[in-house]
Structure 1
């Protein structure tokens, strides 16, 4: 049995050579965690977090998603979507409207107040994204986003 020796360097930089630092799932989770923390901090004064912002964004998109579609697209449990929509609705930012194609279903639509909140929040998330991607050139940012989109939404 060997006795561990003190590392020559301290801090997280020494882990960059580890196998873990080369694993896509770890890197994606780390980047997501850092980006979400930054975005949540910027959105907090508006009473939003990344998840509620995501629901609000899609409600403001003009696509009129159902709660089921929101859950699927955002990879969240339907019960989480219900709570997010409930809170946004309670605050007057979204409303549930009848789906003309399925009376049992409701579409999620933004209110005027929700649209105004979204515009303010979008500016903050753009600032957060710029900070997250600051180490990349403009071309690298475009490529990175394209590759993330491919990984997030693979063809069936």
Structure 2
């Protein structure tokens, strides 16, 4: 990839581009090595950490719309990673439960997520990595809708 024109790009543009590339590469890795999607990993991660959840609550915790979650859960159910079971408190509702297969799959993904080897030379330098971490954490905590920035 020719990055020569990116040296003068605004940080926001670089952030968007790097996020898109990282998401594409992560998605390709998950599909190739784990037969999962990033959305499927999000669902398995939340279920693994919280136990069974109702559809709406799981969608909220994954930052998905409930309608979007349906297809993701269908795929995970076909793979044997998730199962739907009746909610004992409300016969009309279902709970989503991670299976042993789903727990094993997310454990393998977590091994990769927690690797500590540096991603770049900047990441290898603790002082530089701290600045990047601070930037990203501040950005995440103060993120605004870009349309709101132009109206003020």
- TM, length-normalised to structure 2: 0.70
Q: 1:54 to 1:134 in 2, by over 3 A?
A: farther
Q: Which of 127, 134, 141 is the matching residue for 1:150?
A: 141
> What residue ranges of structure 1 are gaps of 5+ in the alignment?
1-10
2:149 equivalent in structure 1? none
Kindly indicate whether the alpha-carbon contact (under 8 Å) linking 1:92 and 1:113 is maintained by their aligned counterparts in 2.
yes
**C-alpha root-mean-square deviation of aligned residues, in Å?**
3.1
**Secondary structure of residue in 1 paired with 2:97:** strand
Question: What's 1:110 paired with?
Answer: 98
Q: Would the aligned equivalents of 1:93 and 1:113 in 2 still touch at CA under 8 Å?
A: yes
Alignment equivalent of 1:16, drawn from 1, 4, 7: 7
Aligned pairs, how many?
138
Q: Which has the higher contact order (CA 8 A, sep 6+)?
A: 1
SS of the residue aligned with 2:122? coil
TM-score after normalising by structure 1: 0.68
Maintained 8 Å contact 2:46/2:61: no
After superposition, the C-alpha distances for 1:60-109 in whole angstroms (9 at most, x for unaligned) are 11343322223333333322210111111111111123334544332222
Q: 1:39 to 1:129 in 2, by over 3 A?
A: farther
CA apart distance, 1:40: 1.6
Structure having the higher helix fraction is 2
- The worse-fitting range, judged by mean Cα deviation, of 41-50 and 68-77 is 68-77
- Structure 2 Cα separation of the partners of residues 55 and 62 of structure 1: 11
